[in-house]
Amino acid sequence: MRDVVVGAGGSTQWDPLEPAVDLAESGLLDYLVFHCLSERTLALSQLRKLADPNTGHDERLPAICDTFAPYMAQGLRLVGAFGVVNVDRAAEIALTQLRKAGLEGHKVGVVRGDDVLDTVIAENSELPTLGMRVGDLGDKLISAHAYIGAEPIVESLAAGADLVLGGRFTDAALYLGPIAFEKGWGPSDWNELALGFLVGHFLEGARYCIGGNFADPPYREVPRMHEIPYPYAVVGDDSFELRKLPGTGGLNNRHTAKSHLVYEIHDPTKYFSPDVTADISNVIVEEIAEDAVRLSGATATGRPDDLRVAVGLDYGWKSVVEGSFGGPGCVTRAQTTADAIRNRLDRYSYDFLDTHYNLHGVNGLFGDQLKSDSDPVEVRLRVAIRCNTRDVAELINLECEQGIMNWGACGGGGRTRTVTPVIGITSAFIPRSKINITSEVITI
Amino acid sequence: MKLRELALTRSGDKENISNIGVVPYDETDYDLLREKLTVDLVREKFGPLVKGRILRYEMPGPKCLNFVMHEALEGGVSYSLRTDPHGKSYQSLMLDIDIDTEDKPPKLR
């Protein structure tokens, strides 16, 4: 079977498009894949959609269509979770933009069915982490989206889609779909699916697997960190090559590859996804050329019966206020101010769900687990409080700012403050048979 | 010797669970880390930051270890009040762990 070449279009909705354009321009790719969702994105997008039914999709979609239409005209296919929580709106935009760009006769695949809010309500699904059921949430329930697999992507591509879009695809499925389609793998070709899943595990991290989040000088140096590109994979039948374009920044060797192999995994012998439960504990990582790594050895024997569902909850409002203190005694002054703010805020504590006081430079990241022998020359006080109501969050936000700038210890400056809605995400698990995923292919 | 001399680490998050993969620079140090880098050592380093269980998995192919720390992010990225709700920085705390290498000197990198 011929090699399939898939490239990363980014790993979040905020990633720039230029490195993806570089990949498209190289002419090497069969597929360019956009992974645009994080745990929170769905619920936040759901809130946007509730306020305005024309939103909730990946807002970059018009630009993505315009930018990549010329490459699609030459045969490049795109796959992405562009729909987020509004697949219909994303489909409209894609059809309109691609028609404008002159791609009449091309096809758009639209995958629906990941929104399972009605199902989890009807099933009163269990929420194991919270120790409760969906019915216990009342009006706190915002959204529920099933992590869906590669099969509807394969179906869309088989029906001729040049662009496939949907919502909560599992990150790796976005890559596994086109690979499985091109290779002709079936839904029980377990070791092959594990290989395609492993490709997705790497590429969905985009810069993370070729030198991003890696440098720790002098132990680990990454050349031209400001020019780390997006990676691509040349997928064979039992291994794949992780690559980056020649002349780009970043680093691609056995250490960067292994650092990403272990990223966000739990039991490496049971890495769950909708398509395959993969065993990556025996993956072989080989440096085969400068800036090219070969990976092989992922295996599988099945897939889970149930699909994971990301349930979004209204978790109140978060107030965060920060301000800096410097020079002799700065830690004491910041701590004194924190204590005073705590006393001042006590009157609002009936509305508090969680509080977090810390001093950046002392205990911001690791609590008291790492101690310094000497005082820092400056510290930054941070007061984060989650409230039930927006009103109290706004009130205490101002009180904290006043504490730092006005009535606290001397020399507090450079304050910043924010109040934001909080969306909690927790998991439910529902049987596949309860989820109706559809794919529709529309000619432009 | 600090773990930083021997290995690189990377942390990731899923809900309220933080994982830290440990990759020895030299594969021949894998057995040393299997013996010395215990769950107890990690528990001691992270203390009250990790409220749930800590599990260690071995990956004999790539010669890496993976630590999975439950209830480690004060709720997880969606609503944690931590400065670093993802626990991205946990990988660096891990590297501060002291590894007793007196009886087994590791190879120079």
Query: Which among B22, B46, B57 is the nearest to A369, CB-wise?
Result: B46
Q: Where are the domains of chain B?
A: 3-95
With H, G, I as helix, E, B as strand and everything else as coil, classify residue B102.
Answer: coil
- Tell me the percentage of chain B whose pLDDT exceeds 90: 85
| CB A122 within 8 Å of CB A172 | no
Place of tokens 């590429």: A203
Please state, in angstroms and rounded to a whole number, the distance separating the CA atoms of residues A27 and A38. 29
A29 alpha-carbon distance from chain centroid: 23
**Structure tokens, A26:** 């190289």
Q: Tell me if A258 and B16 make a contact (CB, 8 A cut-off).
A: no
Residue A1: predicted pLDDT: 80
B17-57 pLDDT, tens digit each: 999 999 999 999 999 999 999 999 999 999 999 999 999 99
Chain B partners within 8 Å of A271 (Cβ): none
Band (pLDDT 50/70/90 cuts) for residue B109 is very low
Interface test with B, best of A270, A363, A366 (most B CBs within 10 A): A366
Selected residues 50-79 of chain B with any CB under 8 Å from a CB in chain A: 55, 57-62, 64, 66, 68, 74-79
Residue B107: predicted pLDDT: 56
The nearest CA of chain A is from the CA of B30 a distance in Å of: 13
Query: Which among B21, B88, B95 is the nearest to A262, CB-wise?
Result: B21
Residue A227: predicted pLDDT: 96
With H, G, I as helix, E, B as strand and everything else as coil, classify residue B31.
Answer: helix
Which residue from B3, B10, B97 is spatially nearest to B47, judged by alpha carbons?
Answer: B97
| A303 to A4, A112, A176, A277, A427: CA distances (angstroms) | 24, 21, 14, 5, 18
Length of chain B: 109
Residue B106: predicted pLDDT: 57
Q: Count the helix, strand and coil residues of chain B and give each as a percent rounded to the nearest 5.
A: 30, 30, 45
Q: Tell me if A356 and B82 make a contact (CB, 8 A cut-off).
A: yes
The nearest CA of chain B is from the CA of A45 a distance in Å of: 13
CB-based contacts of A427, cutoff 8 Å, min separation 6: A127, A128, A129, A308, A309, A310, A311, B15
Q: Tell me if A255 and B8 make a contact (CB, 8 A cut-off).
A: yes
ipTM score assigned to the predicted complex = 0.96
Residue A243: predicted pLDDT: 98
Which residue from A320, A321, A319, A333 is spatially nearest to A379, judged by alpha carbons?
Answer: A333
**Sign of the C-alpha dihedral, residues A188, A197, A36, A320?**
positive
The structure's pTM equals 0.95
Query: Which among B21, B68, B78 is the nearest to A263, CB-wise?
Result: B21
The nearest CA of chain A is from the CA of B80 a distance in Å of: 9
What is the number of other CB atoms lying within 10 angstroms of the CB of residue A415? 17
Please state, in angstroms and rounded to a whole number, the distance separating the CA atoms of residues B61 and A193. 19
Sheet holding A77-80, edge to edge: A284-289, A292-296, A239-243, A232-235, A4-8, A31-34, A77-80, A163-165, A107-112, A438-443
Q: Tell me if A258 and B49 make a contact (CB, 8 A cut-off).
A: no
Does the CB of B47 have a partner CB in chain A at under 8 Å?
Answer: yes
The nearest CA of chain B is from the CA of A160 a distance in Å of: 35
DSSP state of B87: -
Query: Which among A220, A263, A266 is the nearest to B68, CB-wise?
Result: A266
Chain B partners within 8 Å of A425 (Cβ): 15, 76, 78
Please state, in angstroms and rounded to a whole number, the distance separating the CA atoms of residues A399 and A391. 13
**Structure tokens, A102:** 């002159």
Residue A36: predicted pLDDT: 81
Band (pLDDT 50/70/90 cuts) for residue B77 is confident
Q: Tell me if B64 and A262 make a contact (CB, 8 A cut-off).
A: yes
Residue B105: predicted pLDDT: 59
Average pLDDT over residues B54-83: 95
Residue A14: predicted pLDDT: 85
Query: Which among B61, B78, B95 is the nearest to A425, CB-wise?
Result: B78
Selected residues 15-44 of chain B with any CB under 8 Å from a CB in chain A: 15-17, 19, 21-23, 25
Chain A partners within 8 Å of B4 (Cβ): 216, 219
Chain B partners within 8 Å of A261 (Cβ): 21, 59, 62, 64
Which residue from A437, A351, A363 is spatially nearest to A394, judged by alpha carbons?
Answer: A351
Q: Tell me if B10 and A259 make a contact (CB, 8 A cut-off).
A: yes
Chain B partners within 8 Å of A426 (Cβ): 15
Q: Tell me if A265 and B19 make a contact (CB, 8 A cut-off).
A: yes
| CB B64 within 8 Å of CB A258 | yes
Chain B partners within 8 Å of A285 (Cβ): 61-62
pLDDT tens series, chain A, 444 aa: 899 999 999 988 888 999 999 999 999 999 999 988 877 778 778 888 888 999 999 999 999 999 999 999 999 999 999 999 999 999 999 999 999 999 999 999 999 999 999 999 999 999 999 999 999 999 999 999 999 999 999 999 999 999 999 999 999 999 999 999 999 999 999 999 999 999 999 999 999 999 999 999 999 999 999 999 999 999 999 999 999 999 999 999 999 999 999 999 999 999 999 999 999 999 999 999 988 999 999 999 999 999 999 999 999 999 999 999 999 999 999 999 999 999 999 999 999 999 999 999 999 999 999 998 888 999 999 999 999 999 999 999 999 999 999 999 999 999 999 999 998 999 999 999 999 999 999 999
The nearest CA of chain A is from the CA of B33 a distance in Å of: 16
Nearest CA in chain B to A355: B81
**Options 1.10.3470, 3.90.1280, 3.30.420, 3.30.70; CATH of B3-95:** 3.30.70
Which residue from A160, A118, A165, A171 is spatially nearest to A141, judged by alpha carbons?
Answer: A118
Query: Which among A40, A129, A265 is the nearest to B16, CB-wise?
Result: A129
Kind of pairing between the strands at A4-8 and A31-34: parallel
CB-based contacts of A77, cutoff 8 Å, min separation 6: A30, A31, A32, A157, A161, A162, A163, A164, A178
Chain A partners within 8 Å of B12 (Cβ): 262-265
Query: Which among B17, B61, B88 is the nearest to A297, CB-wise?
Result: B61
